[in-house]
A and B are shown apart, each in its own frame.
Chain A
């Protein structure tokens, strides 16, 4: 599988290392060279086949990372807006079959769910996991945590 990952933080680089180890062709984009250096220190220099330095909404940068041949695009920078915009470009401009995007803000994640882009709100998932753990409940499936609306949204709909 050809995978392009935007954002070489902890999640992006770890995911790149896992997929690369499994034999997938992974390229990682980050605007900051030191992000690649840190990832290489943590995970070993072979954490990815290639790194591209640049802005993730720049089409030339995405092309350089191989987005035109990509089977999947995963957007995991620290900025929700960058992730959402880059994911939409991957989907609408380059028609990447699978587009995943990490969004911290649960409301923004809800707003952009569907329409060809899969949003993963790690805030909702982590909060849900901790919630069940602290109350000694058994853990549910990830999908259930994803589907759990934020307390604020629930309050508004009630």
Chain B
């Protein structure tokens, strides 16, 4: 795959390095001369010096034959323009943008940049999860952090312990995916009874993860919430 990365800061640097190590063809575009020197020392001819929003620079980088354009500068407007120009002017099939200010994410989508990575928001929600959860642990974040996979270790005091799956109130946007009991993986059915010592794996949407956690292991501050 041929990927053009616009923005040679930390994210652009590590992204280019990772893609190159996987055997992809990469061009990294950066205009700041202080950064360029270090980038050329590492990536050589894969670096194009200039404003990645300018058509001439995009042409030099070979935007016309790129499979994917990734805009990871520190300026949201620039990232939007890079993606739009890649799309409209060069017909690049795929564009991915970094969102610096999480509040701007919706604007990216409004203006046709559908694949976005809002690093600030993702990191924030990961930390938020770590801080808030007791015995429940975030395993993975999907769909830009909106869908999460969590695991919860049940104790004798957990609200879900001793209940069958059908008696646990779960809102629409979450499912119990698996129960790990000792060394065995169980597929939960309505009649499966949850026991202390079980590890429950759940998948939850944006507004449901706290409810899922409360239903399984309760909240540390207010104790078990009774939704039934």
On whether the beta carbons of B85 and A57 are closer than 8 Å, the reply is no
Q: A81-B75, A108-B55 are in contact. List 15 more A-B contacts (CB 8 A).
A: A57-B77, A58-B103, A59-B107, A81-B53, A81-B78, A84-B81, A85-B77, A85-B111, A89-B110, A89-B111, A93-B110, A105-B54, A107-B54, A108-B53, A111-B89
Which residue of A57, A59, A92, A107 is within 8 Å of B76 (Cβ)? A57
Chain B contact residues, CB within 8 Å of chain A: 53-56, 75-78, 80-81, 85, 88-89, 103-104, 107, 110-111
**Chain B residue contacts of A89, Cβ below 8 A:** 107, 110-111
Does residue A45 face the partner (Cβ distance < 8 Å to B)? Answer: no
Total contacts A-B at CB 8 Å: 47
- What distance in Å separates the Cβ of B156 from its nearest Cβ neighbour in chain A? 49
| A105 vs B124: C-alpha distance when bound (angstroms) | 37
- With an 8 Å Cβ cutoff, the count of chain A residues facing the other chain is 18
Does A81 lie within 8 Å of B110, measured CB to CB?
A: no
**Chain B nearest CB: distance from A87 CB in Å?**
10
Q: Is the interface of A mostly helix, strand, loop or mixed?
A: helix
The answer for the CA separation of A88 and B78 in the assembled complex, in Å, is: 14
Q: What separation, in Å, do the CA atoms of A114 and B58 have in the docked complex?
A: 22
Query: Is the CB of A23 closer than 8 A to any CB of chain B?
Result: no
Known: A81-B77, A81-B78, A85-B81. A57 touches B107 (CB 8 A): yes
Q: Counting chain B CB atoms within 10 Å of each CB, which of A57, A89, A93, A105 scores highest?
A: A57
Q: Which residue from chain A places its CB closest to the CB of B73 in the assembled complex? A: A81
Contacts of B107 in A (CB 8 A): 57, 59, 85, 89, 93
